Structure formats: structure tokens, C-alpha cells
């Protein structure tokens, strides 16, 4: 069974399974505990009914400690395994895994929002959100694709097939702060075949006035209102 007390001693394994270092995990934990207490107060059961006995009564659960709950939900969001696989890792039934995911995903979201690290999802609000953070406006914009199950309908197969990646995929656009590596903006999900430039234009992203934007050739012709725009150029040296 995966246990935080053991994983905390292995920096590389903890990072691979959760996407966080031990310091980042410990920084997130208090906000996660507070969000869990707000959503599931001690006087009521997880189902929302009034308690008939004190907290801790009954069988000892596999995810009893807050560290285990946070580890469980981070492994799911990082690796996105099947529920059966996640159940094997934490010694839970598939039904219990499904129930814990339903309970803990909103808690994780509230904790991340409380820490101010959730990316902006509305392109028109990006500039306003960045001004509140009072950080330097130097960004990288890029598209990211993730593999998805092959659709059954031929029309949908064509829509989601990415010729560049040679797979069926979904796509999102990310804007990342170059210094802190923080994801400042995450676009809605598009079909994998959609061009990066088209996604960026459809979302009408508003940038801070003094922003510097770095982009690759997938955004050729995308020129938003920023102070500086940087894009690598192809070499003109003829191949011999």
C-alpha cells in the first residue's frame, strides 16, 4: 500500500507519483485539512447526516489520516489511473475509490483556490488575475495534448486525430509564468486536431499591458496586444 510516511523519504518517487516535492506537499496539507473540515464538519457524517457516535468510531479506514487522503487524490490527478488500479495501490475496493474521489476532488480544488495557485480559466480575465498577483509579466504560451480513447464515430475520430502526435487526443492552451513556473491560464479543452493559434484566438486572451510573450511556431501569426512578442525563426542555412 502506498503510504506518505514512506514516500516522503523518497524525493524522486514522491515527485513522480504526486507532481509535488515534500515541501510543496506540506505547504498544501494545511489548506487541504481546512477545506476538508469546512466541507465535512465533525458534527456530521460524510453523507451529511447528524452523527450518532463520536468521530473515529467504527472500522479504521485506509485513508484515515489527512496525509493519506491528500496522497490518494494527488496520485489520481497526476497519474490518472483506472479506479481498479488506484484501489490496488491503496487497498480499496473500486466502489470505495469512486466514493473517495467524489468526496476529495472538491476538497483539493478548494484548497488550491485558497492558496491562490489555481489557473485562470477565462481568457478575458487573465490580465486582471495577473495584476492581483503583482508579479513580472513574462510568459510562455504553448499547447499541450493528452491521449484519449479512440472515438467510435468516424467523424469524431477525424476531429480528434492529431497528425503531429499520431494519436487521438484532446488539447489545451497553457500560459506559464517564466520565473515561478506557475500556470497562469488554462484554456477549455479542444479536439486534438485544432491548431494552437486557433484556440488562442477563440479564447480572446487579455494580457497585462507590459507583458512579454514567448511562443513557438504553432502560434505563427498570433499577435496579441503585448509589449514584446518573441518567436524562434527557422534557420535559413541550406542543408548540404
**185 pairs with which residues across the strands?**
120, 175
Instruction: Report pLDDT digits (tens) over 11-33.
Output: 999 999 999 999 999 999 999 99
The H or E element spanning position 186 is strand 183-186
CA dihedral angle for residue 223, residue 226, residue 230, residue 234, rounded to 10 degrees: 10
pLDDT by 10s per residue, the chain, length 240: 899 999 999 999 999 999 999 999 999 999 999 999 888 876 666 666 776 766 655 565 688 899 999 999 999 999 889 999 999 999 999 999 999 999 999 999 999 999 988 999 999 999 998 988 877 899 999 999 988 888 899 988 988 998 878 899 999 999 999 988 889 999 999 998 899 999 999 999 999 989 999 999 889 999 999 999 998 876 665 545
Q: Which three three-digit cell numbers place residue 184? A: 497562469
Residues sharing a CB contact under 8 Å with residue 58, sequence separation 6 or more, in sequence order: none
Contact 178, 197 (CB under 8 A): no
Nearest C-alpha neighbor of 74 from the set 31, 16, 27, 23: 16
Predicted structure pTM score: 0.76
Cell 502526435 maps to which residue?
Answer: 165
Contact 52, 131 (CB under 8 A): no
Over its C-alpha atoms, the chain yields an Rg (Å, rounded) of 22
Phi, psi (degrees; rounded to nearest 5) at 109:
-60, -45
Burial class (CB in 10 A: 0-12, 13-18, 19+), 66: middle
| Distance of alpha carbon 232 from alpha carbon 162, whole angstroms | 23
| Ramachandran assignment for 58, one of left (phi > 0), alpha (psi -120 to 50 degrees), beta (any other) | left
**186 pairs with which residues across the strands?**
174
Instruction: Report pLDDT digits (tens) over 164-198.
Output: 788 999 999 999 999 888 899 999 999 988 999 99
CA dihedral angle for residue 62, residue 67, residue 70, residue 72, rounded to 10 degrees: -40
Amino acid at each position: 500500500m502506498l503510504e506518505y510516511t514512506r514516500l516522503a523519504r523518497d524525493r524522486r518517487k514522491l515527485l513522480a507519483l504526486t507532481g509535488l516535492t515534500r515541501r510543496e506537499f506540506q505547504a498544501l496539507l494545511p489548506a487541504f485539512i481546512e477545506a476538508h473540515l469546512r466541507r465535512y464538519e465533525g458534527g456530521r457524517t460524510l453523507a451529511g447526516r447528524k452523527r450518532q457516535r463520536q468521530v473515529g468510531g467504527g472500522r479504521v479506514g485506509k485513508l484515515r489520516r489527512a496525509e493519506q487522503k491528500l496522497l490518494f487524490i494527488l496520485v489520481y490527478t497526476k497519474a490518472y489511473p483506472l479506479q481498479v488500479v488506484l484501489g490496488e495501490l491503496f487497498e480499496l475496493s473500486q466502489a470505495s475509490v469512486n466514493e473517495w474521489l467524489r468526496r476529495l476532488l472538491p476538497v483539493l480544488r478548494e484548497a488550491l483556490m485558497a492558496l491562490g495557485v489555481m489557473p485562470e480559466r477565462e481568457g478575458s480575465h487573465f490580465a486582471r488575475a495577473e495584476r492581483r498577483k503583482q508579479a513580472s509579466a513574462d510568459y510562455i504560451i504553448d499547447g499541450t495534448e493528452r491521449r484519449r480513447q479512440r472515438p467510435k464515430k468516424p467523424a469524431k475520430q477525424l476531429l480528434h486525430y492529431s497528425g503531429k502526435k499520431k494519436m487521438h487526443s484532446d488539447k489545451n492552451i497553457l500560459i506559464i509564468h517564466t520565473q515561478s513556473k506557475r500556470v497562469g491560464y488554462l484554456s477549455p479543452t479542444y479536439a486534438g486536431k485544432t491548431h494552437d493559434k486557433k484556440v488562442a484566438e477563440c479564447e480572446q486572451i487579455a494580457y497585462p499591458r507590459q507583458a512579454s510573450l514567448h511562443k513557438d511556431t504553432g502560434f505563427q501569426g498570433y499577435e496579441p496586444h503585448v509589449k514584446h512578442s518573441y518567436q524562434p525563426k527557422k534557420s535559413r542555412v541550406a542543408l548540404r
